[in-house]
A and B are shown apart, each in its own frame.
Chain A
Amino acid sequence: MARIWRFGANVNTDQIVPGRYAPYMLKSEDELRNYPFIEARPEFATTVRPGDLIVAGPNFGCGSSREYAPLALKMVGIGAIIAPLFARIFYRNALNLGIPLFEADLTGELADGQEVDFDVTTGTLATQNRAIQLPPPPSWVREVWAEGGIVPYYRKYRRFPGAGVETHG
């Protein structure tokens, strides 16, 4: 089971990891796993479990280009982030790190703390009462996920993803 962590609109990267908790300010990058949402939701980092889902409103990840914001979420094993719109730098950073993003607005349908079954490969999310099919990401996005991020993807294919097709980025 995956727990739903629900957030509102315009969650910025300062909320995800404040600048004072950047790896640049820490003794080691590993410490970063203690700090996602350290001020916005202090219980998040201590109770989040691998595979949990973030369900948020539009413009998730706006603001700074800090890749350590999605990196901190990856370190705690976030299963996917579901929001109707992602800020573009965050979208790229998350894709590059291999974090699954789905574009859908489920803030009105799922409660914070709710437990669901989630299958990232099919993009299906099941509550006690119903199943929700998330819109599938483009195939080239899945190719990047399959390799675990853009670095292994680039090392394998020696090219950039998605060239010549419709994308965000």
Chain B
Amino acid sequence: MYRIVESREIAPAVKLIRILAPEIARKAQPGQFVILRVDAMGERIPLTLADWNITEGTITLVFLEVGVSTRKLGELKEGDAILDLLGPLGNPTDVRNYGTVCIVGGGVGIAAAYPIARALKRARNKVISIIGARTAKLLIFEEEMRRCSDEVHISTDDGTKGYKGFVSDVLRKLLQEGYGFDMVYAVGPAVMMRAVAEVTRPYNIKTIASLNPIMVDGMGMCGACRVTVGGKTMFACVNGPEFDAHKVDFTELIRRQMAFIQEERMALELWEANKRGDE
């Protein structure tokens, strides 16, 4: 069992939890993720490490409550525990001095971008961050991003904060204004990462995306997470999760993410009905 030492809502339906996992904290590196299972009948779900603390022996996860597993996880309070936790998984981000980097984070992806931005800043890059959400209330980790960025640009789909539009629109604007980026890093929903890749493609800027396909084992044994990159099949959990965004077949990724959508909806309705029945 892995004990939760902190749990709080940082935006509507977005939770931050800290879990006691000293060994994972000791080994964690930016860009890596864990796979966890809440309880004995639970699904294995991957979540990116949003932070870790070696002295406290904790890891931080930030997640959007979308279905049964993330809802169950979100219900847990300080002192509760989850059954299984495996990590750190995936290849760490290639942190080095690129020069000027642009970190683009969308939605809960901003939390996943944070340790990467921090590491790139420590590696003496100039860090320009673009973060965005659907609406102002959903914008998370702004403070954290400010701490490790030279500039932070904000967008919301509805214009309630910052630029009205998508993060990719902001990126396009900056490039048109003459910003020169040596590397662009994108993490967030697949559609957002695809848009970012399309913006940087004509400029020929190295662009990395952190992919989030459906996973089961997370250690290379099942192939559920396969993605097409440069015409080749890759297993995102062991060959990634980061890939050259210009080579990723995002359309396929988006389709594969939806593979169980009917089952997931049905399960969520059932879970909610059961919950109402219990109370």
Bound pair: A and B?
no
